[in-house]
Amino acid sequence: MRTLSAVILCIIVITGICLSQDGGSPLTRIEHQTRAEDVCMLVLKDGRFHTERTAAGRAQVFDGTLASSTLTELEPLLNTNGLPELKQSQIEAGTAGEDIDQVMITIARSNGFQTLTFPSAKSRKPFKSEVDPILKWLDRNKQQQNSVPNAVSTRCMPPQTTQAAKSLTTQNAANPFMMRILTDLYEPKGSGTALSSVSAAKGTTGQNVGGVTNTDAMDINAFKITHTCAILYDSGRYRFEKIIRESGIVVKSEIFRDTLDMTQLGGLQRLLDNPKLAALPSNMATAFFGREGEFTSLSIPRNSSVQSVNVATFPPRNASADLREAALQSLGTNAPLVNPVRKWIKQNVEERRSGLATDTRPTDCMPSAQPE
């Protein structure tokens, strides 16, 4: 019974690695996307990791702890040659082209996080001695044992309430932001109603989870997943990304960067200043079994910290069927306070479709020290 409770707790309240309250400190996040596969890996300084790998239309998620020798091998690679001093401006910009071979590396430094994006193999050539050893390390360690069944992708981002996430979303005095919002919409590719889509969609497994057969478990490849994110800065500049995946493969990716006027920003600020929204305590990013639903994560700077509000909503089912269903439904309690912000972003940013950017790669709308 104790084991089952732990399993359910991890599934319901934590995205990615099942972490303790402090979550440890991040060491690096590495992502390598080619036409054949997309693999990302988040490594914490204590050796815990979260890996996601999509290849041949199949998505796999792995959590665990690296061997001490494997972690010891990685650490020097992140500080080799001139890598710590390398700036994004030194890397050739441009689109990936037909030969998709993109790399993004984020490394914890003493003064914050260093993020380097290489849009193509050509852009990495001048830094071959710095980047290639890291990619070879990733290639050796991307295939782990004991994949997590029916896990939902987190894009290898740490949970919002861990110290890692707080560090990744803290304010930058040179370019302060008003808010950052992420939304994931999961739509079954099978036919049927919200209640029958589980049995209609491909991939229903009826897998044993914690000693209980989970008849709702679904293959993540059975979904169309629409991921959107937006970050708005005090200056009025914004970044909006929309990525659609089907069967684990990206079928559409768009990035927009533009500026809103002060009147528009004033309307958003009034929504963010809603006393009921401001009073909500920060909560952990939620994860759920693969099923139809929507997840939203909203980050708002408040005084000296960043408030993180996370909600998940699902089509209603019989909540009395089991405790897990009742708990899942409770994750949408604060949705009415977050929905006005989502609606504002949709009307003023997403539907505006202004400032299509073709010279940048997705960043998941992480705060930037430089103007977008």
Structure confidence at residue 151 (pLDDT): 64
Same-domain pairing of 74 and 219 = no
Are 131 and 78 in contact by the 8 Å Cβ rule? The answer is no
CATH no. for residue 43? Answer: 3.30.1560.10
Q: How crowded is residue 128: how many other Cβ atoms within 10 Å of its Cβ?
A: 10
In angstroms, the Cα distances linking 17 to 152, 182, 218, 249, 354 are: 11, 19, 20, 23, 36
**Pick from 197-211, 214-228, 280-294, 303-317: least confident:** 197-211
Same-domain pairing of 123 and 175 = no
Q: Is residue 359 in some structural domain?
A: no
Q: Is residue 358 in some structural domain?
A: no
Q: Which domain holds residue 107?
A: 21-141
Print burial letters for 300-325: b (CB count within 10 Å at least 16), e (below 16).
Answer: bbeeeebbbbbbbbbeebeeeeeebb
Same-domain pairing of 327 and 181 = yes
**What is the CA 321 to chain-centroid distance, rounded?**
30
Structure confidence at residue 104 (pLDDT): 86
- Indicate whether 178 pLDDT > 80: yes
Please identify which residue in the block is written with the tokens 């193999």. 121
Phi, psi of 339 (to 5 degrees): -55, -40
According to the per-residue pLDDT averaged within each range, which of 141-155, 207-221, 228-242 is highest?
228-242
Q: Is residue 15 in some structural domain?
A: no
- Indicate whether 265 pLDDT > 70: yes
Structure confidence at residue 172 (pLDDT): 56
Same-domain pairing of 188 and 115 = no
Are 238 and 258 in contact by the 8 Å Cβ rule? The answer is yes
Distance between CA 258 and CA 345 in Å, rounded?
A: 13
Distance between CA 95 and CA 123 in Å, rounded?
A: 10
What mean pLDDT do residues 244-267 have?
89
The total number of structural domains that make up the chain: 2
What mean pLDDT do residues 134-148 have?
87
Structure confidence at residue 225 (pLDDT): 87
Per-residue pLDDT reduced to its tens digit, 302-354: 887 788 888 888 776 654 455 555 556 667 788 999 999 999 999 999 999 99
Structure confidence at residue 291 (pLDDT): 66
Same-domain pairing of 326 and 185 = yes
- Paired strand residues for 229: 182, 241
Amino acid at 57: G
Structure confidence at residue 215 (pLDDT): 36
Q: Is residue 196 in some structural domain?
A: yes
pTM for this entry: 0.56
Distance between CA 23 and CA 101 in Å, rounded?
A: 31
Same-domain pairing of 125 and 233 = no
Q: Is residue 162 in some structural domain?
A: no
- Indicate whether 280 pLDDT > 70: yes
Average pLDDT, the chain: 75
Same-domain pairing of 196 and 343 = yes
Q: Is residue 366 in some structural domain?
A: no
Same-domain pairing of 222 and 258 = yes
Structure confidence at residue 292 (pLDDT): 79
**Pick from 26-35, 52-61, 84-93, 108-117: least confident:** 52-61
Same-domain pairing of 201 and 52 = no
Phi, psi of 258 (to 5 degrees): -160, -170
Same-domain pairing of 194 and 65 = no
CATH no. for residue 296? Answer: 3.30.1560
Structure confidence at residue 256 (pLDDT): 96
Per-residue pLDDT reduced to its tens digit, 63-73: 889 999 999 99
Q: Is residue 314 in some structural domain?
A: yes
Same-domain pairing of 196 and 342 = yes
Higher-pLDDT residue of 290 and 132 is: 132
Distance between CA 162 and CA 167 in Å, rounded?
A: 9
Structure confidence at residue 228 (pLDDT): 95
- Indicate whether 259 pLDDT > 90: yes
Same-domain pairing of 249 and 190 = yes
Q: Is residue 159 in some structural domain?
A: no
